[in-house]
Structure 1
Amino acid sequence: MAGQQFWGIPGWRCAFIMMATLSSLIGFLVFQYVVDPRRIINITYDSGENSDRNNLLDKSKASSVSVWLESWTATKAVIKVQTFQIIVLQGVVGSLPWTAMVFFTMWFELIGFDHNSSAALLSVFAIGCAMGSLLGGLIADRMSQIYPHSGRIMCAQFSALMGIPFSWFLLTVIPQSVSSWFTFGTTLFLMGLTISWNGTAANAPMFAEVVPVKHRTMIYAFDRAFEGSFSSFAAPMVGILSEKMFGYDPKTVDPVSGSAQAAFALSRGLLSMMAVPFGLCCLFYTPLYVVFRRDRENARIASLKEEEMM
């Protein structure tokens, strides 16, 4: 859609409007039809006065003040859990490469690819990431059965570690030429297939085992907000490194054919903000081999005590 106009509106604006509209629609459907499992109560089937949805919802709603106080208390308790601290720490560092990847489109166009070719490459990468998330979850589930205390951690470290060779090969080895489209596409697909495991293979399942059930969504949201806030620094860092260290000069860029020198400089900036964080992310998972087993056992005992008190 880039480079075209629809009803007098630039194509890129139309793309944003479409995504915003779809997101709003999904949000409305979730609000309208999804029932929070935490609010499910015992259903009496002999009553036909209320709808199924009304039967599922608990009518006794706590005040918003008490909910926030309870959530804040739970957050403070979870923050003290070392598994949570480590996952958040690796997430802050591990999110940096993904934020830096917003420059992929610019890099491909500096090489000389047109809008369609660049979009196709990014689509191939997105497909690889989607399949990789599923594949990583399946492999980690199997590994967790064989190695209950370390299987997921090994999968996460493998995925983070694979980001280093793929980043190096993508950004430095492949000739930066439009004739390398197929090589770029293959590399991006395999890269997406292997570096996208962490969330489904380790982070989310391990969170679920050390976080109280009724506060999971809040803790997940806290984690995403925390990671996203810090990872946002990656994009400007790529720009600073490309300009100050590797000689990126916007004046040398041709709007049509790009610039080989600018593409080279940007690729080195991207490599710096991808390979190093991927390596640190892999390293930061290591303490989980010690603390995850203990924290999971503590969470299990706490859950049993809560059930006994009910």
Structure 2
Amino acid sequence: MELTSVADPVGENKAENMVVEAKIPGELGLEKEQPSPEEEREPGTIILLWLCCVSALEGMDTQLVPACQFALQRDLGLQLGHFAVLTTVQMVLTNLAAPFWGILADRGTLQKKTILMLGAIGEGLAVTVFAFVPNFWVMMFLRGMSGFFLASLRPVCNGLIADLTSDNKRGKVFGRVQSALLIGMFCSLLIAGNVANKFVGDIPGWRFLFGGAGLVAFIVAAGLAGFLAEPHHELDASAKAKGCAAVRTELCTVLGFLRIPTFCVMIMQGVFGTIPWSVMGNNLLFFKFCGLEDWQASILAAEGTVAGVFGNSIGGMIADCLARRFGYHGRPLSAQITVAIGLPMVFLQFYGIPPGEGTFGAYFALIAAFGLLGSWAQSGTNFPILSDIVPASDRSKVMAWECAMENSLANAIGPSLVSTLAFAFGYKFGAEEMSGKSLSSARALGQAMAATICIPWMITLAAYTLLHWSYPRDMRRLRAKQAAKDEEERV
């Protein structure tokens, strides 16, 4: 099926008339029909295990630099603005490369298994060399390299999940793989928070961390080569195009995506929903300036990912249940609930509790509640909806383009915004901060974090409301087009 036909209004009435007797799940809040046993599909244990390893590898990398911020400022003289640049460079390369990898996967140019292996090997090389880095400029190049190769992991991994899983199980499976990403973040944060600031002889601990991360990436690549069995992937007619015709086909595909209202809504919520996550890595530095011990700060920074492991799994299953009960309104409702719960918890953590007055127990309770209740949207809503609104042959591409478009803006805005606001509110890194406690800097950073997180998430909450209109509409049109195509083939 041509992608542009998904949102093409030409012939819509004719196609819909052909399926007027069909029950449209989710339309006007109707329940979905119960799935047949053949539709109860999900990946096998071995495939799911290695997809989880791929996701964990990405999670590990996202926390390496944030967890080493204090040590890198101390040893290499970096400033908060330098970390914003490193994050921006990495994410720009990630967003530029994601559609490239997604196109290679959906066109069958490279096997998805091969793409995942290349991504793991490239990431391993980048972080291993980072362990020996002498200055900021080399760091910037290596983070860009990491971004390029990490871009291959998520869209291809998600595309495989969507191909292997029936729609009524996707929330659960996406939840498990997203939980693996958080496990990678947890391990990275917990280890880095306690090792980065130490020395082994004259060698700072953060260098050992990056070398170890490279070894993990190479092990994941070897595991994928030996154990991941890739399922058969159906290619559409557009995959046969070569050269300029292929470029034209892919541009038409992107334009087709942009004509799907739900896709545009997902980009809108994604931009504002990702800005907060792009700055969450500063929480370890915040807790340290609040006067907490290294072990307390690292536990709190890692705790959110542990709670999120359970939260993503719970959220995926809740979204599946809501989808069965309320049809195509269920997944948007799940996202609205989780964002509404998470907002006040984050506000209390960074602004509501004054720095120096919050206890380890109070922060622990807030972070645990947020991880369990405020992290449902990605696994329960975003990925399943993106899997639904396009044909199976374009799932890796739609994941890649959506991530690229939302992350390009979010990661260009988030780190720079929190850095600018923090300095405007009085943040500095001087002699007092070197001692590990500075309530004035903690207060400035906390105010910047609260503003950068809460305001965008309010907009995200409003964006999810639009899905109650667009998602049922787009699914109705997609089913009508597919029914028309099936009818033509029968004739």
What TM bracket, shorter-length normalisation?
0.7 to 0.9
Pairwise CA distance, 1:297? 1.3
Pairwise CA distance, 1:18? 2.3
- Distance (Å, rounded) in 2 between the aligned partners of 1:40 and 1:20: 34
- Mark the CA change 1:7 to 1:69 in structure 2 (over 3 Å): closer, same or farther: farther
Answer yes or no: is 1:166 the counterpart of 2:345.
Answer: yes
Amino acid of the residue matched to residue 386 of structure 2? F
Answer yes or no: is 1:208 the counterpart of 2:387.
Answer: yes
Answer yes or no: is 1:37 the counterpart of 2:231.
Answer: yes
Answer yes or no: is 1:88 the counterpart of 2:282.
Answer: no
- Distance (Å, rounded) in 1 between the aligned partners of 2:431 and 2:198: 25
Aligned positions of 1:101-250 closer than 5 A: 101-177=280-356, 180-232=359-411, 233-244=413-424, 246-250=425-429
- Distance (Å, rounded) in 2 between the aligned partners of 1:265 and 1:6: 33
SS of aligned partner of 1:286:
helix
SS of aligned partner of 2:437:
coil
- Mark the CA change 1:192 to 1:287 in structure 2 (over 3 Å): closer, same or farther: same
CA-to-aligned-CA distance 1:2-48 (integer Å, 9 cap, x gap):
1223586422222223223323432453355434434379xxxxxxx
CA-to-aligned-CA distance 1:259-299 (integer Å, 9 cap, x gap):
11111111101000011011110011111111111101112
- Mark the CA change 1:253 to 1:222 in structure 2 (over 3 Å): closer, same or farther: farther
- Mark the CA change 1:32 to 1:68 in structure 2 (over 3 Å): closer, same or farther: farther
- Distance (Å, rounded) in 2 between the aligned partners of 1:29 and 1:73: 37
Pairwise CA distance, 1:63? 6.8
Instruction: Indicate the percent of aligned positions where both proteins have the same amino acid.
Output: 22
Pairwise CA distance, 1:77? 1.0
- Distance (Å, rounded) in 2 between the aligned partners of 1:16 and 1:62: 42
2:36 aligned residue: none
1:21 aligned residue: 215
SS of aligned partner of 2:452:
helix
CA-to-aligned-CA distance 1:133-176 (integer Å, 9 cap, x gap):
11111101001111002111111011122232011211233353
SS of aligned partner of 1:3:
coil
CA contact (8 A) 2:354 2:443 kept: no
2:445 aligned residue: 266
Amino acid of the residue matched to residue 418 of structure 2? V
Amino acid of the residue matched to residue 420 of structure 2? I
SS of aligned partner of 2:266:
helix
Residue-pair matches, total: 290
Pairwise CA distance, 1:187? 0.8
Amino acid of the residue matched to residue 73 of structure 1? C
- Distance (Å, rounded) in 2 between the aligned partners of 1:39 and 1:247: 55
CA contact (8 A) 2:303 2:368 kept: yes
Q: TM-score, normalised by structure 1?
A: 0.85
- Mark the CA change 1:225 to 1:62 in structure 2 (over 3 Å): closer, same or farther: same
CA contact (8 A) 1:137 1:200 kept: yes
Q: TM-score, normalised by structure 2?
A: 0.55
CA contact (8 A) 2:314 2:376 kept: yes
CA-to-aligned-CA distance 1:78-130 (integer Å, 9 cap, x gap):
22100000011100110011112121111111112233221111111111111
Larger deviation: 232-241 or 25-34? 25-34
Answer yes or no: is 1:11 the counterpart of 2:237.
Answer: no
- Distance (Å, rounded) in 2 between the aligned partners of 1:231 and 1:27: 29
Amino acid of the residue matched to residue 299 of structure 1? L
1:57 aligned residue: none
- Distance (Å, rounded) in 1 between the aligned partners of 2:203 and 2:406: 34
- Mark the CA change 1:190 to 1:289 in structure 2 (over 3 Å): closer, same or farther: same
CA RMSD, Structure 1 to Structure 2 (Å): 2.5
CA-to-aligned-CA distance 1:227-282 (integer Å, 9 cap, x gap):
222121211211111211x2223346331241111111111010000110111100
- Mark the CA change 1:23 to 1:95 in structure 2 (over 3 Å): closer, same or farther: same
SS of aligned partner of 2:292:
coil
- Mark the CA change 1:138 to 1:67 in structure 2 (over 3 Å): closer, same or farther: farther
- Distance (Å, rounded) in 2 between the aligned partners of 1:172 and 1:236: 20
2:64 aligned residue: none
